[in-house]
């Protein structure tokens, strides 16, 4: 496909490097090609698949469709607003940012955040990465301003020291890669679930209590000037939204939604901690 069907600039495409040989890409027209002639085609909807081999992921198109719809309905508004505030407070005098969402899934939360930043006057170059082709395919159909990539967070195909903000929302982290990619004044914003996150659903399917203490500890050890903000609220759910919440999480993998049996309440609890940390230079 032609690059003209997406609106990302050469400036953001020039940040990519080949996941196979690590050299830079030199062609950005109907495909990208690196200095050693490894080529990757743009999909029909505009994303790039830079995985050397397909990964087995548990997230399918039904999960991502449900998550996209529930996010469009405002389910994560409180989380998005907190992330937006953090970015604006940090970069209020900077009008151009390079923002990377690692583990972006269907991209809806990321796109909502970017739109809000743009409305405040902040311009951006944006990249969304996920290892699930289904999630990236869905994201690329909705937002052409973002460079969407299927890639592995253990081998992120981006040149080091070029990212202002890394978002990592309800997804696994790789701090060696995160700190490699960040500019010296860059930040990581990671969102992790707390014990009460989707507690109504967890009770129905009889899951044990969850603790994020290990995740928070790992974040604090791999960043500087660590801070955290707790975000907790409840959302009322329609009958259709009850099904969407049930389908949008891997917690319910292989569990069939049954309205008669589930007794799903008409509210859901969103309880997360947003972690903020500066880049930490790792020892050589």
Report DSSP letters for 211-225, one per residue. --HHHHHHHHHTSEE
Percentage of residues of the chain with pLDDT beyond 90: 68
CA torsion, points 208, 78, 65, 170, in degrees to nearest 10? -50
Average model confidence (pLDDT) across the chain: 89
Q: Where are the alpha helices (DSSP H) in the chain?
A: 10-13, 61-72, 77-91, 108-119, 133-142, 175-181, 199-204, 213-221, 239-247, 259-262
Q: Please list the helix, strand and coil fractions of the chain in percent, rounded to the nearest 5, in that order.
A: 35, 30, 40
Distance CA 249, CA 225 (A): 31
Distance CA 113, CA 119 (A): 10
pLDDT above 90 (res 72)? yes
Q: Which strands sit side by side in the sheet containing 224-236, from one edge to the other? A: 48-49, 147-150, 123-130, 96-102, 163-169, 182-193, 267-278, 224-236
Q: Nearest CA to 117 among 142, 140, 145?
A: 145
pTM of the model: 0.92
Distance CA 237, CA 259 (A): 14
CATH code at 54-278? 3.40.50.150
pLDDT tens string 173-231:
999 999 999 999 999 999 999 999 999 988 888 788 888 999 999 999 999 999 999 99
pLDDT above 50 (res 3)? no
pLDDT above 80 (res 27)? no
Distance CA 105, CA 86 (A): 21
Which of 52-66, 134-148, 189-203 is least confident? 52-66
Domain boundaries, the chain: 54-278
Pairing of strands 267-278, 224-236: antiparallel
Pairing of strands 48-49, 39-41: unpaired
């Amino acid at each position: 496909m032609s690059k003209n069907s997406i609106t990302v600039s050469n400036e953001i495409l020039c940040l990519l490097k080949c996941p196979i040989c690590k050299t830079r890409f030199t062609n950005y027209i109907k495909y990208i090609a690196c200095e050693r002639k490894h080529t990757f085609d743009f999909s029909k909807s505009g994303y790039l698949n830079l995985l050397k081999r397909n990964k087995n992921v548990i997230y399918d198109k039904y999960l991502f469709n449900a998550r996209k719809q529930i996010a469009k309905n405002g389910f994560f508004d409180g989380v998005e607003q907190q992330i937006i505030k953090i970015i604006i407070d940090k970069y209020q005098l900077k009008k151009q940012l390079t923002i990377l969402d690692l583990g972006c899934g269907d991209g809806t939360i990321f796109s909502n955040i970017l739109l809000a930043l743009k409305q405040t006057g902040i311009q951006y170059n944006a990249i969304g990465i996920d290892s699930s082709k289904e999630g990236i395919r869905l994201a690329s159909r909705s937002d052409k301003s973002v460079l969407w990539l299927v890639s592995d967070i253990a081998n992120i195909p981006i040149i080091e020291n070029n990212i202002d903000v890394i978002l990592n929302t309800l997804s696994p982290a790789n701090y060696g890669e995160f700190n490699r990619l960040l500019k010296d004044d860059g930040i990581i914003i990671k969102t992790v679930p707390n014990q009460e996150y989707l507690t109504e659903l967890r009770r129905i399917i009889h899951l044990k209590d969850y603790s994020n203490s290990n995740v928070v500890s790992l974040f604090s050890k791999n960043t500087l000037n660590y801070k955290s903000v707790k975000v907790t609220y409840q959302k009322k759910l329609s009958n259709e939204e009850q099904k969407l919440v049930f389908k949008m999480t891997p917690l319910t993998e292989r569990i069939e939604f049954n309205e008669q049996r589930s007794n799903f309440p008409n509210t859901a609890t969103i309880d997360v901690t947003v972690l903020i940390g500066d880049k930490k230079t790792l020892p050589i």
